């Protein structure tokens, strides 16, 4: 869910900038065409994010996590959340500044670019923090536990592919 919020912030930031370029005018149906592309770009990260410490801890019984694994995953998750939240707060601040700059009669494109790039960089740091935490969390698991999580991801991806095949007009509506 946090990834979708971040993605939404990025889209909100890009829309005003895209609207300045005539060849990239936002129009009806544009979001529907963008969503499959975003799914393709996000798919490689999905496997890694299945190993997010919070996800693993939610499934500690199914994974038969040891007390030591729970302690390590909790520490990794807490540190990542702190860093992620700080980066997202920075992104939010820049997005607010970008929105404020857009209210000017003649927005300063340098200010827009500065805030957009700063927000984008902060969102990138937030994503990287979570991806790095997932990689660390994956290493905490045994081979059997990693295989179980990988299996869950395989099933989820097959389900998403099946949903998109049967409902191609709404590919982004299926979590």
Per-residue model confidence as pLDDT tens digits over 42-84 = 667 777 889 999 999 999 999 999 999 999 999 999 999 999 9
Tell which wins on pLDDT, 41 or 152: 152
Asked if the structure places residue 59 within a domain, the reply is yes
Place of tokens 């038969």: 64
Per-residue pLDDT tens digits for 21-50: 444 444 444 444 455 666 676 667 777 889
pLDDT higher than threshold 70 for residue 120 = yes
Q: Domain tally for the chain?
A: 2
Same domain, yes or no, for 132 and 146?
A: no
User: What pLDDT was estimated at residue 169?
Assistant: 60
Same domain, 126 and 165: no
Q: Which residue has the higher pLDDT, 135 or 33?
A: 135
Per the domain annotation, does 109 fall within a domain?
Answer: yes
Question: What is the per-residue pLDDT for 168?
Answer: 59
- 64 in the same domain as 98: yes
C-alpha triplet 45, 130, 163: angle, nearest 5°: 35
Which pLDDT does position 35 carry in this prediction? 58
125 and 92 in a common domain: yes
Angle ∠(50,40,13) on CA atoms, nearest 5: 95
Burial class (CB in 10 A: 0-12, 13-18, 19+), 122: buried
User: DSSP assignment, residue 29?
Assistant: T
The whole domain housing 165 covers 142-175
pLDDT at 130: 94
Q: Identify the band that residue 170 occupies on the pLDDT scale cut at 50, 70 and 90.
A: low
**pLDDT higher for 95 or 43?**
95
Listed in sequence order, the DSSP H helices in the chain are: 2-19, 30-49, 53-58, 60-63, 67-102, 109-140, 143-166
pLDDT higher at 102 or 160: 102
pLDDT at 36: 64
Establish if 119 belongs to a structural domain: yes
pLDDT value of residue 12: 44
User: What is the distance between the alpha carbons of residues 98 and 11, in angstroms, rounded to a whole number?
Assistant: 13
**Can you tell me the distance from the alpha carbon of 163 to that of 147, in angstroms, rounded to the nearest whole number?**
24
pTM: 0.68
């Amino acid at each position: 869910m946090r990834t979708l919020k971040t993605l939404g912030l990025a889209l909100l930031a890009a829309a005003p900038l895209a609207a300045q370029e005539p060849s990239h005018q936002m129009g009806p149906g544009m979001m529907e065409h963008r969503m499959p592309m975003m799914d393709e770009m996000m798919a490689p990260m999905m496997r890694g994010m299945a190993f997010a410490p919070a996800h693993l801890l939610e499934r500690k019984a199914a994974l038969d996590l040891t007390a030591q694994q729970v302690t390590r995953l909790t520490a990794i998750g807490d540190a990542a959340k702190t860093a992620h939240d700080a980066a997202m707060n920075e992104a939010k601040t820049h997005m607010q500044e970008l929105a404020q700059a857009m209210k000017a009669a003649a927005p300063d494109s340098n200010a827009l670019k500065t805030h957009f790039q700063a927000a984008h960089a902060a969102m990138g740091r937030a994503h990287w923090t979570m991806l790095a935490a997932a990689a660390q969390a994956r290493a905490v698991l045994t081979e059997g536990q990693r295989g179980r999580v990988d299996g869950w991801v395989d099933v989820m991806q097959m389900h998403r592919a099946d949903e998109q095949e049967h409902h191609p007009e709404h590919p982004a509506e299926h979590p």
